Structure 1
Amino acid sequence: MPSTRVWFITGASRGLGKAFTEAALAAGDRVVAAARDLSPLADLRASYPDRIMLLTLDVRDPTAVQQVVDEAAAAFGRLDIVVNNAGTMLLGMVEEATEAQIRDQFEVNFFGAVWVTQAVVPHLRSQGFGHIVQVTSMGTGGGFASTGFYAASKSALDSVSQALAMEVAPFGITVTIVQPGSYGTDLFTRGTTATTPRAEYAPLRTQLSEMWGEDVGPAPSTAAPVVMELADLPEPPSRLIVGAASFDMVEQMEAARRSEYDAWKHLSVKAPG
């Protein structure tokens, strides 16, 4: 991969996406920053007029995605690192969510990333290299009360990305599933759609509120150095948890799952297959 790289980042105007954009520019790279609202990136365009390209994009529209990806590749001659970061949060209990809310959650978090992936693979294949970074979540190992559909959409992307990695490896393309924890982004504010609460879940909501507290998490900029180091690796991992606390939590979830498997192995193995 060239020493000066070209990044294509979705959801680049806020949160982790903006942090990744800022870090890449600071490292001397060029960035195609795609988002529905580009106004928060005005300062970066002023500071790096020759190294940043701003493109309006709603990842839910596959035709628009194809056009923007082709435009980006033509403008900079190639795409080295593609970061599927755009995402939203549907917050609420499974019973409460409407069909429209559930579908929109998947349209952005899952289908949007798929459309971008399908659009960039031909460009990366033709140049013989490239790195696709799929931003999922440390919670893809299992759903959690009130964030089940968010976790489901990210888990779907996680599974597809594992298959993708096997499919594109012969073309020199690598895929890394990046699983960040909770950072101080606006995912839980302007990026959130909430269900209409049912009274039956009021006690659980109180319990969750007490559990989570008011800590918004570390600044997104603290995650950017990890992604920059990941981009430098000649053989990047297929999966990377981002965040010390998140790493501990994932280890605990994996251990609990392994323990339950072992506890019920005697029942599992009674069936052939």
Structure 2
Amino acid sequence: MAKTIFITGASRGFGRIWAEAFLERGDQVVVTSRKGSGLSELVEKYGSAVLPLELDITNRAACFSALEKAKSHFGRVDVVINNAAMGVVGMVEELGEQESRDIIEANLFGTLWITQAALPILRAQGSGHILQLSSALGVYTFPSVGIYSASKFAVEGFSEALSLETKDMGIHVTIVEPNGFSTDFTASTIQSKPLPAYDQVRTALYSNPAMTESDTYGDPKATAAAILKLVDATNPPLRLFLGKKALPLAKAVYQQRLASWEEWNTVAIEAHGL
């Protein structure tokens, strides 16, 4: 049976690829973008199966209005994909105030507002699936992406809690964690003003073979089949990596974390005081 999908940030990148994959198989798709640009081609190609909406996800009232329009237009909403996001590249000391606030507004609060707007609809239906586009950088991090990781770590936290809150309501939550992909995400990525003090850190980072190997960045079009499988799953996972690079690194990072926690566990127990 055809599904009704709501996707933010659908004018390009993952959002556009996934929207077209859903439409090609006969689903109905609500596509949003901040300026509404890039959506007319979808309407021209897929006609009434597409509902294009201009949406600033940092505007909470607008998010609620968009979800209500989606439900009113198609009668229901089955899948909500929180894809829209922005990036900031810069060492922690280099980050400016406005760019730091902007990324939290978009990546954390924008995701939260859409989620809150969708929940009453999904709860009334007794079914639904929310996909939160996090990142492998929401599981681990590296120099120059601290504030981006912070925004995605936050999405991971509230989404995990949400999955526990809605597990008996027929609402599934999946946190999608892509490793690097060759999308045009850099178009919405801000570069902080670099400080010479971190030049050596930058040089080491960008000369790391893991950053320069030919298969470091995956093919974004290959993710479409995975997303279709995910939304069709009867029992979807809470978390799903996209790409082959993330899991090996996540395993190594968690091994280090566990080892450190174990090493300091005596101190932790002493701190309990009872």
Bucket of the pairwise TM-score, normalised by the shorter protein? over 0.9
Corresponding residue number in structure 1 for 2:182:
184
User: Secondary structure of 2:226's partner?
Assistant: helix
Select which of 37, 41, 44 maps to 1:43: 41
Give the Å deviation of 1:196: 0.7
Q: Distance in 1 between matches of 2:93 and 2:100?
A: 11
Contact 1:59 1:65 in 2 (8 A): yes
Identity of aligned residues (%): 38
- 5 Å matches for 1:115-126? 115-126=113-124
Amino acid at match of 2:259: S
Residue correspondence of structure 1 range 1-273 to structure 2 within 5 A:
3-187=1-185, 189-211=186-208, 212-213=211-212, 217-272=217-272
Q: Distance in 2 between matches of 1:178 and 1:156?
A: 14
More displaced 10-residue stretch of structure 1: 75-84 or 92-101: 92-101
Shift of 1:46: 1.6
Deviations 1:123-168 (A, max 9, x none): 1111111000111011222332100000000110110001111112
**Aligned-residue offset at 1:214:** 8.0
CA distance in 1 between partners of 2:7 and 2:272 (Å): 46
- Once structures 1 and 2 are overlaid, which stretch shifts more, 112-121 or 31-40? 31-40
Q: Compute the displacement of 1:77 (Å).
A: 0.3
8 Å contact kept, 2:218–2:243: no
Contact kept, 8 Å, 1:6 with 1:80, in 2: the verdict is yes
Kept in 2: contact 1:13–1:40 (CA 8 A): yes
Shift of 1:191: 1.1
For structure 1, list consecutive stretches of 5 or more residues without a partner in the other structure. none
Farther-moved stretch of structure 1 (177-186 vs 77-86)? 177-186
Deviations 1:49-76 (A, max 9, x none): 0211111111011111111111111000
Range that drifts further, 263-272 or 26-35: 263-272
Q: Is the 8 A contact 1:25 1:51 kept in 2?
A: yes
CA distance in 1 between partners of 2:155 and 2:61 (Å): 20
1:82 Cα offset (Å): 0.2
Distance 2:196 2:43 in 1: 48
Q: Distance in 2 between matches of 1:143 and 1:162?
A: 19
CA deviation profile, 1:232-260 (whole Å, cap 9, x unmatched): 11111111111111122212212221222
For residue 243 of structure 1, what is the amino acid of its counterpart? G
Question: Whole-Å Cα distance in 2 between the matches of residues 6 and 159 of structure 1?
Answer: 27
Distance 2:193 2:45 in 1: 43
TM-score (norm 2): 0.94
Gaps in structure 2 of 5+ consecutive residues: none
**For this pair of structures, how many residues does the alignment match?**
270
